[in-house]
Amino acid sequence: MKILLGAHTSISGGVASSVDRAVKIGCKTMQIFTKNNNQWKAFPLTEEAVRNYKIKLRLSKINPVIAHDSYLINLCAKEKAILSRSREAFLDELKRCELLGIPYLNFHPGAHRGQGEKDGIKIVAESLNFIHEKTPNFKVKSMIETTAGQGTNIGYRFEQIREIIDLVEDKKRLTVCIDTCHIFAAGYDLRTEKMYNKTLDEFNKIVGFKFLKAFHLNDSKKELGSRVDRHEHIGKGFIGKRGFKFLMNDKRFEDIPKILETPKGPDMLEDIMNMRVLGRLVKT
Ligand SMILES: [Zn+2]
Ligand SMILES: [Zn+2]
C-alpha cells in the first residue's frame, strides 16, 4: 500500500527551504504556513522566491503541498474590525497559495465568542462567499479543518462542517481536512475497528468523502470528548497506535495526504520517528 505521508514543515529561511527540509526527512507530502503564522503582516513573496520554491518542488517527489492559514484569522470574529481583517488576511493567503501553486488552504472555521454556534456558522459561510467571489478564477481550494471544539470554536461536529458547506455558494471551492486529534477530542472515537468505522461512516454520511482531501495525523494528549486541543506523538496519546492502524490501512484514503502536526525540534527528528511508527502500522 502506498503511503502519502508527510509533516508540517517550517519555511524559515524562505519558502523554498521547506522543500529541502521535507525531502531530507522523506516526506511525500507536506504542509506549510506561507507566512509568519502569528502575525497579520506577511512578507512579500518575490518572483525569485516563488521560482526557487517551484523548481525545488518539481525536483522533489512531494505532492501535494497544503498551506495552513495564520492562527490569527477568525472568519466568524465578533468584532467587525477583526472580521474584516481576517477576511483580508485569508484573501491574501489564498493569493499566496495561488502564486505558489498550492492546491489547498486549510483553516479552522473560527471562534464565535458568544455569538452562538448558529450565527458563527453563518458568518464563516458569509466570509467564504465574500472571499470566493473576490477570487473567481483561483485554483486553490479552501479546506475546512475539523476542530476539537475548544472554547467557542465551531467545526467540532460533522454537522457543523456540513452546515458551512450548505451555506457556501460555490461548493467546488471547498474541501475538508480531518484532524485525528481534533475529532477524537471532540468525541469521535477511533480506537477500535468498530468505532473507527462508525466515525468515518458518520463523516461520509454527513459531510461526504468527496470533500475529504487531507488528514492531519496527531495523537491526543487529552481524553476522548475532552474538547481540548493538544497534539501528542503517534502512539503516545489517548488514541494510541491501534487507532492509526485502521486509518493507515484504509484503501479508501490511500491517495489522501496524511500530515503530522506533532511537536518537533528544528531538525525534525520527531517527524522521522512518527513517520516510522506510522509506516510500521501498514500491513504489506
Ligand atoms: Zn489546524
Ligand atoms: Zn490540524
Kindly report, residue by residue over 151-203, the tens digit of the pLDDT. 999 999 999 999 999 999 999 999 999 999 999 999 999 999 999 999 999 99
State pLDDT tens for residues 40-63: 999 899 999 999 999 999 999 999
| Residue 150 grid coordinates | 475548544
Q: What is the CATH number of the domain that holds 179?
A: 3.20.20.150
Domain encompassing residue 147:
5-281
Ligand 1 centre to CA of 50 (Å) is 24
Ligand 1 centre to CA of 261 (Å) is 8
pLDDT band at 1 (very low <50, low <70, confident <90, very high): low
State pLDDT tens for residues 223-262: 999 999 999 999 999 999 999 999 999 999 999 999 999 9
Q: Alpha-carbon distance 49 to 100, whole Å?
A: 9
Ligand 2 centre to CA of 53 (Å) is 24
Q: How many domains does the chain have?
A: 1
Q: Collapse the DSSP code of 56 into the 3-class scheme (helix H, G, I; strand E, B; otherwise coil) and give the result.
A: helix
pLDDT band at 284 (very low <50, low <70, confident <90, very high): confident
pLDDT higher than 90, residue 213: yes
**In contact, 241 and 274? CB cutoff 8 Å:** no
Ligand 2 centre to CA of 30 (Å) is 12
Ligand 2 centre to CA of 179 (Å) is 5
Q: Which residue has the cell 526557487?
A: 52
Q: Alpha-carbon distance 238 to 179, whole Å?
A: 14
